[in-house]
Structure 1
């Protein structure tokens, strides 16, 4: 499996994951509390750019999967003649860019440790270690799934002049289920979470 952590070493890698995650939560609250979320775009952009141009370019590339969703939301709100669509899309882009910054500059082990600590009050409902592992695996699988979708798209293009579009949805879903099955078997073979 791949990881979202950036190999480009920056000052942000030395900041504890717990601090970055707390700042992200505060930003998310601000993002939805303010009626003008675009005011938060310059500080988030400055934060990403402060890590250097190579890091900023990689961060921008990580936003590519949002393009289809942005187009669908934009068309939907245009059709409804709802100007709030711009606000919604702005919030989404800023939030995802900030989340990318946290995952690109934090080790997965640090993030899962933080989640496990924060989840201790939920112990009567769910084991904190299980929740931390589930969130950690979700984060870990994002780049794997993106890579798998790209491979399936390339395979389609090699066999057909038509654009794959929605046709890659089923094979990508089946690939995700297959990967999840293999991961579950590997966890079971290693004794689960015990």
Structure 2
């Protein structure tokens, strides 16, 4: 899940988070078990329609994070072309696009607090057994919140490199990006410690 809540209000914003997350899990299982490129293509077309229904602004807002998948698509496509398994490669690529797009759609139409509440409900039996479920809730929130932040910083590093050189940045921004990520992780850890760490509040 790579996007934050969409600024465009849709009907899905008012659906219960548990229903949307349950539908996402069920759809993912279906996509994994059906090895048919026609079905995968039709499913992806359905997902695209779901993005288009709220309007063009919603569609373009949701499409931006999906563009991050192109290196994986190229890699998977090249490997299956080399191994002469183009149909299997097409199925994997279509499945990947559908799964990520659906997950992104859920986060675009669901508040983070509502998703965390679902996780808290599902892990309540483990909390009663003495397990620290707060760590899972915090981890989920951090992944969803920090992913777009790190993507933005990576883009700024790329732009800074292009302003100073005509060569492609490529691996050259990997080290400064890693340093930025570790620095952010350190600040987040300090903030968590200042607020009591990951102990259960119950």
Matched, 1:149 2:154: yes
C-alpha spacing 1:96/1:158, structure 2 compared with 1 (3 Å): same
Q: Which residue of structure 1 aligns with residue 183 of structure 2?
A: 178
Q: Which residue of structure 2 aligns with residue 101 of structure 1?
A: 105
Q: Which residue of structure 2 aligns with residue 63 of structure 1?
A: 66
Matched, 1:76 2:82: no
| 116-125 or 68-77, which deviates more | 116-125
Q: Which residue of structure 2 aligns with residue 8 of structure 1?
A: 8
Per-residue CA deviation, residues 126-163 of structure 1 (Å, 9 max, x unaligned), is: 42221011011111111101101001101111111101
Q: Which residue of structure 2 aligns with residue 45 of structure 1?
A: 48
SS at match of 2:168: coil
Query: 2: distance between equivalents of 1:125 and 1:62?
Result: 38
Q: Which residue of structure 2 aligns with residue 159 of structure 1?
A: 164
Query: 1: distance between equivalents of 2:136 and 2:74?
Result: 33
In the comparison of the two structures, how many residue pairs are matched?
Answer: 192
Per-residue CA deviation, residues 24-83 of structure 1 (Å, 9 max, x unaligned), is: 001101111111222311222222212211101111112111111111111111112222
SS at match of 1:62: helix
Structure 2's unaligned 5+ residue stretches are none
Runs of 4+ with >6 A deviation: none
Q: Which residue of structure 1 aligns with residue 22 of structure 2?
A: 22
C-alpha spacing 1:24/1:162, structure 2 compared with 1 (3 Å): same
Query: 1: distance between equivalents of 2:179 and 2:152?
Result: 14
Q: Is the CA contact 1:20–1:102 (under 8 Å) kept in the aligned structure 2?
A: yes
TM-score normalised by structure 1 residue count: 0.92
